[in-house]
């Protein structure tokens, strides 16, 4: 079978993609800044290197028929150059290597936040434009990378697509669940607005499966998928505060009862950002404009394109998945 390079293969999504590619019969080469013996034991060819290093990337891509690019710098705070190097420059290195080495399929992990302009997104589809203003550097640099990937579909033999998974969750999630639990335990979590705004999430195995299916379709030269961006979700929006409460109650952490209006949270975020930038503080402020908007506004998406082009079937038993997470979440809460 074809060999696929997975960048960031040791991460939450990247590891799930690597495992599913192996089960599908592909050879998998992983590129990350660390080694992952558990994945190596499954058969992953593990390369240690920085995805922002052009020479490393050129070598890693050689001999691969496809690339799944999951490596990224996430978060809402930090220097522009740090986000640009990892999210944008590294993607350009990978695209260059893909063209040079005859890669046929390039799947880029993007984000729905590339279309977020601080306003409600209620069932929007992929026709939603990139915003003219950005609330933080992560979505801006991811949008630049996504645009480069989609534009590359028109050049040479490489076929590309960008997948936009939203709020990836599941057992051993290192981002969403720990962040919610930590902020609640520290007394820093508040309901922003009514909490009834609708949001989308996506289970890690569903998101990973879509990446594998995208590789399959692109290697089969499916012209419909080439150059397309696709939202990925669980297919059923949830109320934001209800979802946060479910995480906390499953972990055995009291759900905060205090709340703040969206306008107040947004204003506080703007002030704190100005102060932290002025003082050149590296740690994230307790509130930012982006976080306030994400906690208070709708952000759920139409996934018809993924259903049509990938035969994407994301529906999962959420209660059963949370039960799988319960022991881990409770350990996390008491750590």
At residue 1 the predicted structure's pLDDT band, cuts being 50, 70 and 90, is confident
* pLDDT band at residue 227 under the 50/70/90 scheme: very high
314 vs 233: CA distance, rounded Å: 7
In three-state secondary structure terms, 147 is: helix
Please report, for the domain that includes residue 36, its CATH number: 3.40.50.720
Which tokens is 231 given?
A: 């939202």
User: Which residues lie below 8 Å from residue 218, measured CB to CB, with a gap of 6+?
Assistant: 66, 104, 105, 106, 107, 159, 160, 161, 225, 226
| Helix, strand, coil percentages, rounded to 5, for the chain | 45, 15, 35
pLDDT score for 315: 80
User: What token pair was written down for 65?
Assistant: 């028929």
Tell me the percentage of the chain whose pLDDT exceeds 90. 94
Determine, yes or no, domain membership for 272: no
Domains identified in the chain, total number: 1
Is residue 138 part of the annotated active site? The answer reads: yes
In a domain, 229, yes or no: yes
Distance CA 32, CA 166 (A): 23
Does residue 214 lie within any of the structural domains? yes
Check: CB of residue 115 under 8 Å from CB of residue 121.
Answer: yes
137-152 helix and 90-100 helix, angle to the nearest 10 degrees: 10
Mean pLDDT, the chain, rounded, equals 95
Query: Residue 157: is its pLDDT beyond 90?
Result: no
Question: What CA–CA distance (Å, rounded) separates 160 from 321?
Answer: 31
pLDDT over 90 at 173, yes or no: yes
Query: Does 135 fall in a domain?
Result: yes
pLDDT band at 335 (very low <50, low <70, confident <90, very high): confident
Find the domain containing 63 and state its range.
3-173+200-236+300-316
pLDDT tens digits, 180-213: 999 999 998 999 999 999 999 999 999 999 999 9
Catalytic residue among 26, 36, 138, 300: 138
**How many residues are given for the chain?**
335
Q: Are 57 and 39 contacting, i.e. CB atoms less than 8 angstroms apart?
A: no
Residue 107 or 282, more confident: 107
Spatial separation of the C-alpha atoms in residues 269 and 264, rounded to whole Å:
8
Do residues 21 and 28 touch, judged by C-beta distance below 8 A?
yes
* 290 domain residue, yes or no: no
Convert the pLDDT of each residue in 37-85 to its tens digit: 999 999 999 999 999 999 999 999 999 999 999 999 999 999 999 999 9
Confirm whether 155 is domain-assigned. yes
Per DSSP bridges, beta strands 45-48 and 3-7 are unpaired
**Given this model, what pLDDT does residue 307 score?**
97
The answer to the question of residue 179 being in a domain is no
Q: How many CB atoms lie within 10 A of CB 59?
A: 15
CA atoms of 296 and 10, how far apart (whole Å): 32
Please check whether residue 295 lies inside any domain of the structure: no
């Amino acid at each position: 079978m074809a060999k696929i390079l997975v960048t960031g293969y040791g991460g939450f999504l990247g590891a799930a993609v690597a495992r599913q590619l192996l089960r599908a019969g592909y050879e998998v080469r992983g590129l990350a800044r660390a080694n992952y013996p558990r994945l190596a034991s499954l058969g992953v060819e593990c390369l240690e290197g920085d995805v922002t290093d052009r020479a490393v990337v050129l070598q890693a891509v050689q001999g691969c028929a496809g690339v799944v690019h999951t490596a990224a710098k996430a978060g809402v705070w930090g220097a522009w150059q740090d986000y640009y190097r990892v999210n944008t420059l590294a993607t350009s290195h990978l695209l260059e290597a893909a063209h040079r080495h005859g890669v046929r399929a390039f799947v880029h992990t993007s984000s729905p936040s590339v279309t977020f302009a601080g306003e409600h997104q209620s069932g929007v589809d992929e026709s939603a434009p990139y915003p003219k203003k950005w609330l933080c550097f992560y979505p801006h640099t991811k949008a630049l990378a996504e645009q480069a990937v989609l534009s590359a579909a028109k050049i040479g033999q490489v076929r590309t697509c960008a997948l936009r998974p939203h709020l990836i969750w599941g057992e051993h999630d290192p981002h969403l669940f720990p962040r919610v639990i930590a902020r609640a335990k520290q007394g820093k979590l508040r309901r922003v607005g009514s909490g009834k705004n609708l949001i989308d999430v996506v289970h890690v195995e569903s998101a990973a499966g879509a990446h594998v299916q995208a590789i399959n379709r692109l290697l089969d030269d499916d012209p419909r998928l080439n150059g397309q961006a696709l939202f990925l979700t669980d297919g059923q929006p949830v109320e934001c505060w209800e979802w946060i409460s479910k995480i906390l109650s499953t972990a055995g952490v009291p759900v905060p009862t205090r709340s703040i209006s969206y306008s107040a949270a947004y204003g506080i975020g703007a002030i704190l950002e100005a102060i932290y930038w002025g003082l050149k503080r590296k740690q994230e402020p307790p509130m930012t404009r982006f976080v306030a908007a994400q906690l208070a506004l709708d952000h759920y998406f139409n996934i018809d394109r993924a259903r049509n082009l990938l035969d994407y079937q994301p529906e999962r038993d959420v209660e059963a998945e949370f039960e799988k997470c319960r022991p881990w979440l409770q350990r996390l809460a008491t750590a």
